[in-house]
């Protein structure tokens, strides 16, 4: 049986794994290894990282059902907050490197690039989930807490739409993420969710 120290080590490992890409990208920018547009390099990579974090967070519930391993449940809030952190850094990168903190440009940018509105809606949704991802909010909201946190699914749709608009000239990468998202979402369907424990029993039997 895993001890408290084991779970602390697991959480610390997840924290370091989530932090590492940011450190690597920052090191590349600092050492002129991020190409001719380091600001755009950070913007795109951090945005993709936010999508990865969201997909990983949503995959934890089906993985728990499949394996019954407590470790996946223990890091769900942590990965959710990392998703919000990456999305916030992505937005700040846009404000700093694209707008140059010139907020007067934002109006024209919204007209030319409506995917920014979609991205902001996703960020607002993630902020709402992050602000209520604590025990006090769970007690306060009661049954409404689960209803609220089901917003993660439409948020995923908004993020994919945002990403599709950004990379519409090259759909190969987007199709890969959309396929992963479809697989994750399929595991939430009741018939599939009921099948996951059976798969676990069969694997245990072999």
pLDDT digits (tens, 9 = 90+) for 124-157: 999 999 999 988 888 888 888 888 888 999 999 9
Mean pLDDT of the chain: 88
Q: If pLDDT is split at 50, 70 and 90, which confidence band does 34 have? A: confident
**What pLDDT shows up at residue 85?**
97
**What pLDDT shows up at residue 1?**
52
Please state, in angstroms and rounded to a whole number, the distance separating the CA atoms of residues 124 and 79.
17
pLDDT, one tens digit per residue, over 40-57 is: 999 999 999 999 999 999
Q: Is the pLDDT confidence value at 196 over 80?
A: no
Indicate the range of 61-75, 101-115, 163-177, 190-204 predicted with least confidence. 190-204
94: three-class secondary structure by DSSP: helix
User: What does the pLDDT average to over 110-133?
Assistant: 91
37: three-class secondary structure by DSSP: coil
Q: Please answer whether residues 165 and 115 qualify as being in contact, where contact means their C-beta atoms are separated by less than 8 angstroms.
A: yes
171: three-class secondary structure by DSSP: coil
Q: Is the pLDDT confidence value at 201 over 80?
A: no
Q: Is the pLDDT confidence value at 200 over 70?
A: no
- Residue 58 exposure: Cα atoms within 13 Å on the Cβ side: 26
How many residues are given for the chain? 206
Percent of the chain with pLDDT over 70: 93
Q: Please answer whether residues 188 and 62 qualify as being in contact, where contact means their C-beta atoms are separated by less than 8 angstroms.
A: yes
184: three-class secondary structure by DSSP: helix
**What pLDDT shows up at residue 199?**
67
Q: If pLDDT is split at 50, 70 and 90, which confidence band does 198 have? A: low
Q: Is the pLDDT confidence value at 167 over 90?
A: no
Q: If pLDDT is split at 50, 70 and 90, which confidence band does 181 have? A: very high
């Amino acid at each position: 049986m895993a001890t408290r120290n084991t779970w602390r080590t697991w959480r610390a490992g997840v924290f370091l794994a989530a932090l590492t890409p940011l450190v690597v990208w920052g090191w590349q920018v600092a050492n002129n290894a991020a190409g001719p547009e380091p600001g755009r390099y950070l913007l795109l990579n951090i945005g993709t990282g936010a999508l990865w974090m969201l997909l990983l967070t949503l995959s934890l519930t089906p993985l728990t059902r499949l394996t019954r391993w407590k470790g996946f449940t223990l890091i769900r809030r942590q990965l959710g907050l990392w998703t919000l952190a990456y999305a916030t850094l992505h937005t700040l990168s846009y404000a700093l490197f694209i707008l140059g903190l010139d907020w007067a440009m934002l109006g024209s940018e919204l007209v030319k690039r409506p995917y920014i509105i979609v991205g902001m809606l996703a960020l607002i949704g993630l902020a709402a989930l992050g602000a209520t991802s604590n025990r006090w909010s769970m007690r306060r909201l009661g049954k409404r807490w689960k209803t609220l946190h089901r917003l993660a699914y439409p948020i995923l749709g908004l993020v994919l739409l945002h990403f599709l608009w950004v990379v519409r000239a090259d759909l190969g990468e987007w199709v890969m993420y959309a396929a992963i998202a479809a697989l994750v979402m399929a595991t939430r369907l009741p018939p599939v969710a009921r099948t996951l424990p059976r798969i676990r029993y069969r694997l245990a039997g072999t």
